[in-house]
């Protein structure tokens, strides 16, 4: 039996998803969350196998929630619920560990197929999204400074690169689909790991390593 956590703040939509999933004998909805905070708490309490995650929640981004849930529960699989597969936020969610997406309004068969595929360890996304992810990871592999700053995570290095370009936290948050608070935390972590006295020193070191190039 595959245990599911639904995360969305629209009751009518949740009713429809719950009804569709109930028609499959091997799928069980064990909990429903309406906020990021509830999703984190219910994931701990119910230990679901798959989370269906909306990207726009009242208290934060489903992208941040996806990253946090997967960090705390590595065996979890996240399937994004989205209004449009062309939304940049879908690709951002994939970068943060989601295994695919299902478009709101999809039929029962498509929804169940997406859930069962992700539950089995597969991925669900279009060729367009796959190509964009391929471009992202190819660029990441060639990113300057990987060997220079091995103590940084990929996300921290990405933030440092944008800081070195002169971007402020708000613009970085918009680019990476993160909250302002998350970006501040990443910048603080970068300064600590680089033993940099301030943002200016970190920028100077990043540029010497080849980061911050437009």
CB 26 within 8 A of CB 4: no
Q: How far apart are CA 49 and CA 73, in angstroms?
A: 10
pLDDT on residue 207: 83
pLDDT tens for the 214 residues of the chain, in order? 999 999 999 999 999 999 999 999 999 999 999 999 999 999 999 999 999 999 889 998 888 899 889 989 989 999 999 887 666 677 778 778 899 888 888 899 999 999 999 999 998 876 566 565 555 555 555 555 455 677 888 888 889 989 998 999 999 988 888 888 999 999 999 999 888 889 999 998 888 777 876 6
pTM of the model: 0.65
pLDDT at 61: 85
Q: Could you tell me where the beta strands, DSSP code E, fall in the chain?
A: 2-7, 27-33, 50-54, 56-57, 60-61, 77-82, 100-103
The label of the residue with tokens 């068969």 reads 109
CATH label, 143-208, candidates 1.10.3210.10, 1.10.3720.10, 1.10.150.530, 1.10.10.10: 1.10.10.10
Say how far apart CA 77 and CA 10 lie, in whole Å.
22
Q: Return the SS3 of 32.
A: strand
2-124: CATH number: 3.40.50.2300
Question: What pLDDT score does 123 carry?
Answer: 87
- For the CA atoms of 135, 140, 142, 147, what is the dihedral angle to 10 degrees? -170
CB-based contacts of 5: which residues, under 8 Å, 6+ apart?
Answer: 29, 30, 31, 32, 33, 39, 42, 43, 46, 48, 50, 51, 52
The predicted pLDDT at position 150 comes to 77
Where do the domains of the chain lie?
A: 2-124, 143-208
pLDDT at 118: 94
């Amino acid at each position: 039996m595959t245990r599911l956590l639904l995360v969305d703040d629209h009751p009518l939509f949740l009713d429809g998803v719950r009804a569709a999933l109930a028609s499959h004998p091997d799928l069980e909805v064990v909990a429903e969350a309406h906020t990021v905070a509830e999703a984190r708490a219910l994931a701990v309490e119910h230990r679901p196998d798959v989370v269906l995650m909306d990207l726009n929640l009242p208290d934060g981004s489903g992208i941040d929630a996806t990253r946090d849930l997967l960090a705390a529960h590595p065996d979890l699989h996240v399937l994004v619920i989205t209004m449009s597969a062309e939304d940049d936020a879908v690709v951002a969610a994939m970068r943060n560990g989601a295994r695919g997406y299902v478009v709101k309004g999809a039929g029962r068969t498509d929804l169940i197929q997406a859930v069962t595929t992700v539950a089995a360890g597969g991925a669900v996304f279009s060729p367009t999204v796959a190509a964009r992810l391929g471009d992202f990871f190819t660029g990441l592999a060639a990113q300057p400074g990987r060997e220079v700053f091995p103590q940084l995570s990929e996300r921290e290095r990405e933030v440092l690169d944008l800081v070195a370009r002169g971007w402020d936290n708000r613009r970085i948050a918009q680019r990476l689909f993160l909250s302002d608070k998350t970006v501040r935390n990443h910048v603080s972590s970068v300064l600590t790991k680089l033993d940099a006295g301030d943002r200016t020193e970190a920028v100077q070191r990043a540029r010497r390593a080849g980061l911050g190039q437009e």
